[in-house]
């Protein structure tokens, strides 16, 4: 127990988890099933298979199997950038003059710049296994698109990314990383799909939206022989793959005899948070341990803290299955919030159920205070964090400062999901003092929540 | 010896070197002394001290002390991103179908994106120790400026960066990273220095040059109480700090009983190459081992392969001491080559002497073949390399393919100095097929070499 804790705890390669953990297996209250939008009945693997790879459809619907073996090919790929370090934030602790011990699991040390690669490589693998030619997806900020491009390039799969037009134009570098990995990147709405043509006709000059890009990607997958659609967050299969984050975190803590008191993660669609907390929540559900778990979301898109727990569409185009989740309504348009990955109107059904059951808590934070935390962190810890990740940093710093008041030496663990190299436009706004905070009014939320689909 | 080699060899923190190694101590033919441009006599610590920090001036001139203790404060900072991994490129080997074993020392896992941070933190530390208020420097592509900004922020030093105006405007993101770390970034030529004003008057609308930025930074340091000038490459002190790269590489190889056959590094000013090879060259000089060492430079700026070994100015403004080195002439203007860090007209005096003595060899490679190697590497190894680093990748791949011909299982080690996230404009040119190769003509080189200073 008195082993000196290094700045970076790296597991050995042989200590890397060989199985993903499916937290649903230990949940007494299972997440509500996803529904076929046509029949309003729970979807089957057969119904999902024209859109998703079969094995992924199976993983999506399996809420009883606790452990899934990670195929060797995926583990070999993981070894290029995993195990990722669990970092003891000695310098931040010193700067804050806090008795708290702060740890962060850093997922940014790979070219996609975030944890998204953990699921991208799994999804590409199963597509390859199924003998597919390629996959389609949408991307907004571009982290997911980059991760999928890397994964497809590794398995020699065609990768077609529909990138929201405004991002395609404003983030040319993200687009070029994807192209360097051989992906075909199309600004959405495009003239290559029926839905794209229709939208371009109806709204000439539109710069697109995530909802539209999803619809185009789904159409491209289902209308093209040998293609399937893949998605980087929200889905339970994605949380399954992302459990590698939490499993490694727990293994590293256990190795040094550290018991976490608090676990903090940013939450957009829930992929990072769900992955990080899964094994810890599992212990809680089995009555083996207790943790304080905090989901941090932007005040501009507060699905957990101000949304409604109800069935809703996963996409603006309403082509995907219905999911019961904390939602702001599928028509909710978040303001120009720079934390691109946290702009989703809904939340993973697993995270939603855990929150509804009181197993995890949630907080919302404003953008300016988030960038202030990001800058503090960057200056002493040497990593320029992604805006998304910085939501977790904000709460970790707040909690560490509370410990300074109370004198508690809490062990605070947070997820640092990625780096901010492609988010310098946002940093520039912050540096120039031009960053605005935006909080939706109650009226806005009421309006966007008034159109939830009727499900019993 | 039969220990299985992991994808990434991480040393433990306690295995991190505690001393830098000064290869000059083992060189029989010492690098020629740097000369005071006014007297043409070897400079003294006293003469250097108004410009450089005293301890750094001492390190610069010391060619007999082999080991310099790394101060604890610097080692603590190093622990945030070091030891850096030595990666076995299993996936690249498989892709190339080569019997060669390829290893790369990866220095890009820190926010500055390169090895520059190793010396930046040392230089900032000695400035702080001396009680200075701040430091000044110039930056072109921006890696050095970013590294220095991070280091100064950590030690709470003021950091003033003169950034070549064309880069300031074309690379706004690099600039914003520096600003996020609290640096004051001024486009050069500026109106804040006498030399800047003069140049702006003489050449209205000029977009600047590295030579001009150096002159402004030196003027700012020497005219401002409590400031000194710092430099990120070429100098022997920088190679001393960068020896951490080679020392860790050797320690990691030794740990697994691997004997390198070839060591490859890109060479601009020589800081990365010199640091990587120092301990290996030391063994050669002491007759303990033999290695094939290759410096790789761009065909557009071929100081070793086509330059002259002579005393020359280190800067275009001719304000710095004279150094004997392989040079293309201080007035040489490389073409619009995107590998920004490899555009220097000269070469570290240590590297120059080792090359002149035949201890290391050199090759030049064209830009398009370099980006082709970069893309090949990125696709299978998952890291998007910096253009500079990709020069080394090109030669490593070429050598691995030769091994495929001959059936040799050579151990090839190369330095992967950094990441290319801020170089996407160059990648875009490559992706679009718009990348041009440029090789200076003999006449151009003769012209720029005709103005070398007369020494003796």
Is residue A253 scored above 50 in pLDDT? yes
Question: Which of B315-324, B331-340, B397-406, B418-427 has the largest mean confidence?
Answer: B397-406
- The DSSP line for A22-81 is -GGGG-SSPPPPPB-TTT-SB--HHHHTTTS-HHHHHHHH--S--EEEPPHHHHHHHTTT
Q: Does the domain at residues B19-69+116-229 carry the CATH identifier 3.30.390.50?
A: no
pLDDT value for B455: 87
Q: How many contacts does A have with B, using Cβ atoms within 8 A?
A: 119
pLDDT in tens, B318-342: 778 899 999 999 888 777 655 566 8
Mean pLDDT is lowest, of A154-158, A319-323, B131-135, B409-413, for: A319-323
pTM score, whole prediction: 0.94
Question: Does residue A77 have a cis peptide bond before it, meaning omega lies within 30 degrees of 0?
Answer: no
- At B65-79, the pLDDT tens digits run 999 999 999 999 999
Mean pLDDT of A373-397: 96
Positive or negative torsion for Cα B184, B188, B189, B194: positive
**CA dihedral sign of residues B276, B279, B283, B289:** negative
Would an 8 Å CB–CB cutoff place A181 in contact with chain B? Answer: yes
Sign of the four-CA dihedral A48, A50, A52, A56 = positive
pLDDT per position as a tens digit, A285-344: 999 999 999 999 999 999 999 999 999 988 777 778 899 999 999 888 777 655 566 878
pLDDT at B37 over 70: yes
Quick check: do A8-15+82-113+242-449 and A19-69+116-229 share a fold? Answer: yes
Report ipTM for this prediction. 0.91
Quick check: A378 and B111 CB within 8 A?
A: yes
Give the B window 107-126 contacts with A, CB below 8 Å: 109-111, 113, 117
pLDDT of A192 > 50? The answer is yes
Summarize the confidence of residues B87-98 as an average pLDDT.
97
Q: Where are the domains of chain B?
A: 8-15+82-113+242-449, 19-69+116-229
Residue found under tokens 């992906």 = A183
Number of other residues whose CB lies within 10 A of the CB of residue B434: 8
Q: Which of A46-60, A211-225, B22-36, B407-421 bottoms out in mean pLDDT, i.e. has the lowest? A: A211-225
**Which chain B positions have a beta carbon within 8 Å of A142's beta carbon?**
none
Q: Out of A249-263, A328-342, B177-191, which region has the weakest mean confidence (pLDDT)?
A: A328-342
| CA–CA distance, A176 with A171 (Å, rounded to integer) | 9
Q: Are B302 and B339 a contacting pair, CB within 8 Å?
A: no
Give contacts of B 76-105 with A, CB under 8 A. Answer: 76-77, 79-81, 87, 90-91
3-class secondary structure, A241:
helix
Residue A295, both tokens: 């989901």
Please identify which residue in the block is written with the tokens 């930025």.
Answer: B213
Distance separating alpha carbons of residues B438 and A240, to the nearest angstrom: 50
Average pLDDT, chain B: 94
Question: CA separation (Å) from A412 to A263, A267, A294, A380?
Answer: 6, 17, 11, 17
Residue percentage of chain B with pLDDT more than 90? 82
A160 close to A222: Cβ distance less than 8 angstroms: no
B1: confidence class by pLDDT, cuts 50, 70, 90 = very low
Q: Where are the alpha helices (DSSP H) in A187-263?
A: 194-202, 210-222, 236-255
Angle at CA of residue A398, ends A393 and A400, nearest 5°: 90
| Contact (Cβ atoms closer than 8 angstroms) between residue A398 and residue A412 | no
The answer for residues whose C-beta is within 8 angstroms of residue A432's C-beta and 6 or more apart is none
A431: nearest CB among B79, B180, B379:
B180
Please give the pLDDT value at position A285.
98
What percentage of residues in chain B have a pLDDT greater than 70? Answer: 98
Residues of B numbered 399-438 whose beta carbons fall under 8 angstroms of chain A's beta carbons: which are they? 419, 421-422, 424-425, 427-428, 430-431
**Are the C-beta atoms of A242 and A232 separated by less than 8 Å?**
no
Confidence label for B312 from pLDDT (cuts 50, 70 and 90): very high
User: Average pLDDT, stretch B291-308?
Assistant: 96
CA nearest to A13 within chain B = B6
Predicted pLDDT at B425:
86
3-state secondary structure chain B: CCCCCCCEECCCHHHCCCEEECHHHHCCCCCCCCECCCCCCECCHHHHCCCCCHHHHHHHHCCCCCEEECCHHHHHHHCCCCCCCEEECHHHHHHHCCCCEEEEEECCCCCCCECCHHHHHHHHHHHHHCCCCEEEEEECCCHHHHHHHHHHHHHCCEEEEEEEHHHHHHCHHHHHHHHHCCCEEEEECCCCCHHHHHHHHHCCCCCCCHHHHHHHHHHHHHCCCCEEECCCCCCHHHHHHHHHHHHHHHHHHHHCCCCCCEEEEECCCCHHHHHHHHHHHHHHHCCCCCCEEEEEEECCCCHHHHCEEEEEECCCCCCCCEEEEEECCCCCCCCCCCCHHHCCCCCCHHHHHHHHCCCCEEEEECHHHHHHHHHHHHHHHCCCECHHHHHHHHHHHHHHHHHHHHCCCCEEEEEECEECCCCHHHHHHHHCCCCCCCCCCHHHHHHHHCCCCCCC
Closest CA to A152 of A112, A109, A188, A108: A112
Distance (Å, rounded) from C-alpha A33 to C-alpha B415? 51
Rg for chain A, CA atoms, rounded: 21
- Mean pLDDT estimate for chain A: 94
Contacts of A182 in chain B (CB under 8 A): 379
The per-residue pLDDT for B73 is 97
Mean pLDDT of all residues in B258-277: 97
pLDDT of residue A166: 82
Can you tell me the distance from the alpha carbon of A302 to that of A191, in angstroms, rounded to the nearest whole number? 34
What pLDDT is attached to residue A12? 94
For A8-32, what is each residue's pLDDT tens digit? 999 999 999 999 999 999 999 999 9
Once rounded to an integer, what is the mean pLDDT over residues B77-82?
94
**Phi, psi at residue B102, to the nearest 5°?**
-110, 130
Identify the CA nearest to B307 among candidates B273, B270, B337: B270
Quote the pLDDT of residue A208.
82
Q: Of A80, A154, A180, which has the smallest distance from its Cβ to B375's Cβ? A: A180
Identify the band that residue A1 occupies on the pLDDT scale cut at 50, 70 and 90: very low
The stretch A389-400 carries a mean pLDDT of 98
> Which range is least confidently modeled, A122-126, A293-297, A356-360, B342-346?
B342-346
Contact A428/B176, CB-based, under 8 Å? yes
CA dist., res. A384 & res. B177, Å (int) = 8
Fold of A8-15+82-113+242-449: Rossmann fold (3.40.50)
Helix (H) and strand (E) counts in chain A: 18, 15
The number of residues in chain A equals 456
Which pLDDT belongs to residue A157?
98
The number of CA neighbours under 13 Å toward the Cβ of B242 is 29
CB of B21 less than 8 A from some CB of A? no
Whether B179 has its CB under 8 Å from any CB of chain A: the answer is yes
- Is A210 an interface residue toward B (CB < 8 Å)? no
A288 Cβ contact list (under 8 Å, min separation 6): none
A205 has a pLDDT exceeding 90: no
Who's near A2: CB < 8 A, 6+ residues apart?
A: none
Rounded CA gap, B257 and B349, in Å? 32
pLDDT given at position A341: 66
């Amino acid at each position: 127990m008195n082993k000196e804790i290094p700045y970076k705890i790296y597991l050995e390669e042989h200590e890397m988890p060989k199985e993903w953990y499916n937290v649903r297996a230990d949940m007494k209250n299972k997440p509500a099933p996803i529904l076929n939008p046509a029949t309003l009945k729970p979807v089957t693997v057969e119904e999902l298979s024209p859109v998703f790879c079969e094995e992924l459809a199976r993983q999506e619907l399996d809420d009883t199997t606790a452990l899934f073996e990670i195929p060797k090919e995926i583990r070999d790929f993981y070894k290029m950038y995993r195990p990722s370090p669990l970092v003891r934030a000695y310098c931040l602790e010193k700067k804050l003059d806090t008795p708290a011990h702060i740890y962060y699991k850093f997922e940014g040390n790979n070219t996609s710049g975030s944890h998204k690669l953990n699921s991208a490589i799994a999804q590409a693998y199963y597509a390859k296994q199924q003998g597919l030619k390629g996959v389609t997806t949408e991307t907004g900020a571009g982290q997911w698109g980059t991760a999928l491009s890397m994964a497809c390039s590794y398995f020699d799969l065609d990768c077609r990314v529909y990138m929201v037009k405004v991002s395609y134009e404003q983030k040319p570098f993200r687009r070029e990383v994807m192209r360097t990995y051989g992906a075909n990147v199309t600004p959405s709405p495009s003239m290559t799909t029926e839905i794209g043509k229709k939208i371009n006709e109806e709204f000439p000059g539109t710069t697109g939206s995530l909802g539209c890009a999803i619809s185009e990607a789904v159409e491209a997958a289902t209308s093209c022989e040998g293609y399937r659609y893949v998605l980087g967050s929200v889905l339970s299969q994605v949380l399954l793959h992302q459990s590698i984050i939490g499993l490694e975190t727990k293994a590293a803590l256990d190795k040094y005899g550290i018991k976490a008191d608090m676990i903090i993660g940013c939450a957009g669609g829930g992929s990072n948070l769900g992955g990080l907390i899964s094994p810890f929540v599992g212990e809680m559900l089995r009555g083996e341990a207790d943790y304080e778990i905090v989901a941090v979301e932007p005040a501009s898109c507060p699905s957990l803290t101000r949304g409604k727990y109800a069935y809703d569409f996963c996409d603006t185009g309403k082509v995907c299955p219905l999911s019961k989740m904390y939602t702001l309504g599928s028509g909710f348009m978040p303001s120009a919030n720079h934390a691109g990955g946290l702009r989703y109107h809904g939340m993973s059904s697993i995270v939603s159920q855990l929150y509804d059951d009181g197993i995890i808590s949630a907080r919302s934070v404003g953008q300016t205070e988030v960038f202030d935390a990001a800058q503090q962190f960057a200056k002493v810890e040497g990593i320029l964090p992604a805006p998304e990740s910085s939501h977790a940093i904000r709460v970790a710093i707040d909690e560490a400062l509370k410990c300074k008041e109370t004198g508690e030496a809490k062990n605070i663990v947070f997820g640092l999901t990625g780096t901010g190299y492609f988010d310098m436009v946002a940093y520039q706004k912050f540096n120039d003092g031009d960053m605005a905070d935006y909080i939706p009014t109650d009226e806005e939320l009421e309006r966007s929540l008034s159109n939830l689909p009727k499900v019993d």
